[in-house]
Amino acid sequence: MSFNQSLGIMIATYTRAINKQQNWTGSLFRCETKAVCLTDAKGMSLNWITNMGITQFVVDNPEKEYSNVYFNYILRNPVKDGLVKRVEDWEFSSYSQYIGISECNLLKRNRIEEFGLHFH
């Protein structure tokens, strides 16, 4: 199963659980959610190359590196959107656990290592 499929299953499962708990129906992210094409996410990875108006993703293992782009995008998003000044200031992020300043045990380090993810 690809990372994209796993993410889709996770979002669908989360939505069903919240809808059941709150006795709601439909999408949880109806109005506020917007799709961002990560092929235009400048600065998220050193592997994005734009030449003559064409953006390319250049890596030896696209499945693992694209996952890393997602990983960095999600962790950096609160800073990008101006919600906090530093990544570690976002209380809903696992970043503080990732860098070892939080004792919360929600982060699965073995999964991060399995995907070869790293924050940059």
CA neighbor of 102 nearest in space, from 86, 88, 85: 88
Contacts of 69 (CB under 8 A, 6+ apart): 38, 41, 44, 45, 47
CA neighbor of 44 nearest in space, from 10, 98, 9, 80: 80
pLDDT tens digits, 58-103: 556 655 567 777 788 888 888 888 999 998 898 888 888 888 887 7
pLDDT tens digits, 1-48: 776 677 778 888 888 999 999 999 888 876 555 555 555 545 444 555
- 3-class secondary-structure state, position 54: strand
Predicted TM-score of the model (pTM): 0.50
- Per-residue pLDDT, 81: 85
